[in-house]
Amino acid sequence: MSRKPGSLPIVAAVKALFHKALLSFGSDSSGYKASMKKLAFAFSVLVLGVGVAAADISSCQKSETACILDAAWGASLVLPDEKRARLTPAFLEIASGADEPQLITFWESRLAESASPAQSYPDYGWQKAEPLLREGGVAHLVRVAKDRAEPLNFGRADALLSAGTRLQADDPDASTTLNDALLDLTRAASSFEKPNLAHAAAELAMVRCDRERFEKALLYTDAPGNLRYAIWRARIEGNVLGLLDRIRAIDTDQDTREVRRVLEGYRAIQTFGYCDARKDQIGG
């Protein structure tokens, strides 16, 4: 990772200020006091500037995936061995998702287990949504979801999320309609169902690179500030490495949830890539 633009020039400028303050000592009392003030100010800014440069030097110099894995691994070290072992498949899945054979080899060696492709599961949401789309299109799907009619008397969040994700590439307007439907359902839902619908609305907005709807959905989730959502936001904005310090600061030894959120959140970046920086972000 390259240093932050201008960090070392800042330090150089502060050193020059420090030197100038030393040369400006006057022989009279007022000149002496003024020079001392300049010197104290220059010294304090010098310390700050050197700290910025030191932070640059300590930044991760590896690939993005390697940096995320290292930060998550460091955070997991506070967990008991048996709990940390539960994260092995998730670490290996992220390593396998990068086109870096040496990275996979490293993590297989560290975890003493071979990496394998991520296990695929049936998409039950799509199994419910697809027949409804064929029957009457997006409007019909939304109507059935709002009425809680069969087959969406349960699992409607997954159905709308799956349909919206699949339609995004070929019919982005339909995907937007489904995102809005999820938000509408969230606002009207019971306290029991609201977080699940909100999570689905946030995930679909992330897939669509829609910052405005993403932030609206987060307001109704159980933990809007958690690292999974922060990483999803980074996918929209374009730099997950800005979260490394926060990932390293995870210090809970109670469960694997926080580290798992990091790995599952980063999987979205591996799956979808970053939002196209050449286009204006929706709602940005």
Q: Is the CB of residue 195 less than 8 Å from the CB of residue 220?
A: yes
In this structure, are residues 207 and 233 in contact, taking their beta carbons and an 8 Å threshold?
no
- 3-class DSSP state of 210: strand
User: Which residue is associated with the tokens 């980074």?
Assistant: 234
Token duo for residue 223: 């933990």
Phi, psi of 238 (to 5 degrees): 110, 10
Burial per residue of 198-225, b for 16 or more beta-carbon CB atoms within 10 angstroms, e otherwise = bbbbbbbbbbbbbbebbbbbbebbeeee
* Among 8-12, 20-24, 44-48, 70-74, the range of highest mean pLDDT: 70-74
Question: Would you say the C-alpha torsion 150, 154, 158, 160 has a positive or negative sign?
Answer: positive
Q: pLDDT > 90: what percent of the chain? A: 71
Q: What is the pLDDT of residues 31-55, one digit of tens each?
A: 444 444 444 444 443 334 434 333 4
Q: What is the pLDDT of residue 34?
A: 45
pLDDT of residue 276: 74
Q: How far is 107 from 69, CA to CA, in rounded Å?
A: 9
Paired tokens of 202: 């946030």
Decide if pLDDT at 70 tops 90.
Answer: yes
Mean pLDDT of all residues in 58-83: 93
Mean pLDDT, the chain, rounded, equals 83
* CA atoms of 196 and 193, how far apart (whole Å): 6
Cis check for the bond before 195: say yes or no (omega within 30 of 0): no
Name the token pair of 130.
Answer: 């697809």
pLDDT, position 111:
97
Residue 105: C-alpha distances to residues 89, 203, 219 (Å) = 14, 31, 41
The helix/strand count (H/E) of the chain reads as: 14, 0
Question: pLDDT tens-digit profile of 109-168?
Answer: 999 999 987 788 899 999 999 999 999 999 999 999 999 999 999 999 999 999 999 999
Amino acid at 277: A
CA distance 181 to 282: 17
pLDDT digits (tens, 9 = 90+) for 206-246: 999 999 999 999 999 999 999 999 999 999 998 999 999 99
User: In the chain, where are the structural domains located?
Assistant: 7-57
